[in-house]
Structure 1
Amino acid sequence: MPSLFFRHRLAQRLLLPAAFVVACSLAVNAAQADSETALPYGPGVAKINVADERPERSLSGDIWFPTPTPGKHSRADKSKVWQMALADTRGTVADGTFPLVVVSHGMYGNTFNQAWLASELARRGYVVAMINHPGTSTFLRDADQARELWQRPVDLSRLISFLIDESEYAPVIDRNRIYAAGHSLGGFTVMMLAGAEFDNARYRTVCDGQDLPVACEVLSGWSVAETKDDQAEMATSRKDDRISKVISLDLGGTPVFSRDSLARFDIPVLVLGSGRADMLNQEIESRALATALPGEKVKHLELPDAGHFDFMGVCKPEGYAILEEHEPGDEIVCIKGHRERQSQHQRILKEILTFLDK
């Protein structure tokens, strides 16, 4: 399911066919996962729920964790289009303490989009948690909640608090190693969580023209920052000091970030961009983000020939043709989506592990 900041009309089209899109849940690099027999843990997964006094802002999602049984997992085969991630739905958490990675999905996405990454990280000793952002997820679309875009980083802060203070997983989470990663709008979200701030003046300037960045179309379509109250909320820092590293996966929204807030970043940032630039202008997005961050804090890689959807799951070999026939236009999510995407996943995973393990 497509993520944030690319063409809004295309985003709507790509996200409507639930039969195919929801089935993308738990996509993974099958060849890589099946060949790795020496990994220390298995990939456990369970549902999580974070209650709130506002019923509409309750959070639901998935938590992935290391299990003590590396060889015990299965792969559901419920989709004609997408491969599924290795998962042990009945697994128990391995002994020890593990880093926590919270992951934010893109525009109208869901927790399944980066499940391939969560499964791989769990097998290597990470706890990974993801929720469906109310208002901007596949299952929870709402105009008012989308307008309150500042709530997305708050969602992640609430998720962290729940996991380390209230959940049954609290004893196994290393509170000194809490990280955040996000794809597309999720990248925008985790950058705000790490200290990036929305700049109302830049938003008005950048988005007042003819050749608009994709972010402008999306934010305008959601009526973001149109009232004084909303402008104040959007400009308020949502920095969570518990985050010690952050990963941006082909984010959209850099043009509306305050340059001062980016220059003040005090934690390491991994910025991964798509070399194919099939959805986002890298010059004003990932490249601009990396340039604006302190040089000693940022590592920027533009993955050769990677596309925006390569940060999502692996398509089956026949996936492109099936979507082209049944949902014309949606096949874009499976362009170079099988073996080429498996190779991209290997590179993405390697870079993320290198960054987090330092």
Structure 2
Amino acid sequence: MPASNSFMASAPRTISILVFCLLFFAIPREADASYDLPYGPGVTELTVVDARADRPLSGTVWYPTSTPEKFQRADKSKVWQMADADPDGSAASGSFPLLVVSHGMYGNTLNQAWLGSALARHGFVVAMVDHPGTSTFLRDADQARELWERPVDLSRLITFLLERSALADRIDRSRIFAAGHSLGGYTVLLLAGAEFDTGLYESLCARDGTNVVCPVLKGWSVAETDADRHEMELSRMDRRVRKVVSMDLGGTPVFSPKSLGQVRTPVLVLGSGRADMLDQDLESRMLASLLPRTVMQHVELADAGHFDFMGVCKPEGFAILKEHEPGDEIVCLKGGTEREAQHQRILAEILGFLGAQ
């Protein structure tokens, strides 16, 4: 589905592996001495080991190192500027909050690598996995239909990190958070206690089949059998998650308003003021109006677009995509210095909400 038509798209549909380059083949560069932060951005590959052989999960985990001056930047992509990273660097001593991140529709763990790198420098462990069925390289119609598995992926990730990972003793179990972009925002709201409403979904799509929610979920055959409707409506709340960050989510119209009104987990609702992909009145603004005021913070970022929650594009990125993947160049609209400025605002809001180390 072209990015320009998808309400939850967080990555173009067919950008090549050359564009979504490998993170760990890094080229050393001189560190900026003015980048005065307490930790370096360690990063390593991650594979969740548990009993779910039917749904393998892999991705990356970012973590603080004790060498803030040591980092590298991969430079294998013609479109994207890769995040600063110290691949497999030694983890700093201490106990750090954990943030699990959910990518958007047909996205991947590289989409929010910039956020993982930045938060690691501020003393956070940040873990991400590619959701089977709805990620860039793991597209599968049957797995996409099982949309209820997305929040379960994050709960499995948390359990693995706490019980079996090399970073288990570095994680502050009282400070476990979740963040998601686009469809990832929908995903992490489920962890906070939001619930899918089949009746609302069906009536919405019968009344207005052009609503951006409908073609996506209908295309995936979501909630079309009794068994699937049951799974979709089950609560996927994870009480270990203490705060949630929604980054320009897509999917608010299919949440049960009653369940949103009963959410007790604090939620930061970040919306894109430029509204280049989503109708904010039907998404972040609606979500903010339905959540209890006592647990909700709503920030609409002026002149931010849907794709500003993704990485920074190189100056030539827009032209390359326009030539080779017409329609997908939207992901690089204002994607350079303007996006870097938006990243600073997004980072500041998230740090303020989660509590900076």
TM-score of the pair, normalised by structure 1: 0.93
Amino acid at match of 1:176: S
Which residue number corresponds to residue 171 of structure 1? 169
SS at match of 2:91: coil
CA shift in 2, pair 1:253/1:109, >3 Å:
same
Which residue number corresponds to residue 234 of structure 2? 236
What is the CA-CA distance between 1:37 and the residue it aligns to? 2.4
SS at match of 1:187: helix
1:190-241 CA-to-partner distances (Å, cap 9, x unmatched) read: 0001110000111011111346321111111000000000000000000000
What is the CA-CA distance between 1:18 and the residue it aligns to? 1.5
TM-score of the pair, normalised by structure 2: 0.93
Whole-Å separation in 1 of the counterparts to 2:267 and 2:191? 12
Amino acid at match of 2:90: T
Amino acid at match of 2:193: G
Q: Is the 8 A contact 1:60 1:131 kept in 2?
A: yes
Q: Counterparts of 1:94-133 in structure 2 under 5 Å?
A: 94-133=92-131
Q: Is the 8 A contact 1:24 1:313 kept in 2?
A: no
Q: Counterparts of 1:69-80 in structure 2 under 5 Å?
A: 69-80=67-78
Aligned residues: 350
SS at match of 2:12: helix
Amino acid at match of 1:184: S
SS at match of 2:21: helix
Gaps of 5+ in 2: 25-30
Residue of 143, 146, 151 corresponding to 2:144: 146
SS at match of 1:231: helix
What is the CA-CA distance between 1:49 and the residue it aligns to? 0.6
Q: Is the 8 A contact 2:7 2:212 kept in 1?
A: no
What is the CA-CA distance between 1:15 and the residue it aligns to? 1.7
Aligned identity (percent) is 64
What is the CA-CA distance between 1:36 and the residue it aligns to? 4.6
1:21-40 CA-to-partner distances (Å, cap 9, x unmatched) read: 413969xxxxxx94752200
Structure 1 segments of 4+ aligned residues over 2 angstroms from their partners: 6-14, 23-26, 33-37, 51-56, 209-213
Residue of 39, 54, 57 corresponding to 2:55: 57
Which residue number corresponds to residue 274 of structure 2? 276
Which residue number corresponds to residue 162 of structure 1? 160
SS at match of 2:352: helix
Where is the helix percentage greater, Structure 1 or Structure 2?
1
Which residue number corresponds to residue 29 of structure 1? none
Q: Counterparts of 1:10-25 in structure 2 under 5 Å?
A: 14-19=12-17, 21-23=19-21
Which residue number corresponds to residue 92 of structure 1? 90
What is the CA-CA distance between 1:251 and the residue it aligns to? 0.3
SS at match of 1:22: coil
Amino acid at match of 2:277: M
Residue of 181, 184, 204 corresponding to 1:183: 181
Residue of 125, 133, 136 corresponding to 1:135: 133
Gaps of 5+ in 1: 27-32
Which residue number corresponds to residue 260 of structure 1? 258
Q: Is the 8 A contact 1:97 1:173 kept in 2?
A: yes
1:43-70 CA-to-partner distances (Å, cap 9, x unmatched) read: 0000111134443401001000000000
CA shift in 2, pair 1:9/1:184, >3 Å:
closer
Whole-Å separation in 1 of the counterparts to 2:23 and 2:254? 31
CA shift in 2, pair 1:177/1:327, >3 Å:
same
Whole-Å separation in 1 of the counterparts to 2:8 and 2:255? 24
Which residue number corresponds to residue 28 of structure 2? none
Whole-Å separation in 1 of the counterparts to 2:292 and 2:174? 22
Q: Which moved more, 1:43-52 or 1:270-279?
A: 43-52
Which residue number corresponds to residue 286 of structure 2? 288
Whole-Å separation in 2 of the counterparts to 1:10 and 1:301? 19
SS at match of 1:18: coil
C-alpha RMSD over aligned residues: 2.1
Amino acid at match of 2:38: P
Whole-Å separation in 2 of the counterparts to 1:253 and 1:327? 26
Which residue number corresponds to residue 27 of structure 2? none
Which residue number corresponds to residue 328 of structure 2? 330
Whole-Å separation in 1 of the counterparts to 2:9 and 2:123? 34
Which residue number corresponds to residue 30 of structure 1? none
1:133-181 CA-to-partner distances (Å, cap 9, x unmatched) read: 1111111111111000000000000000000011111100000000000
Amino acid at match of 1:174: D
Which residue number corresponds to residue 202 of structure 1? 200
Whole-Å separation in 2 of the counterparts to 1:41 and 1:10? 33
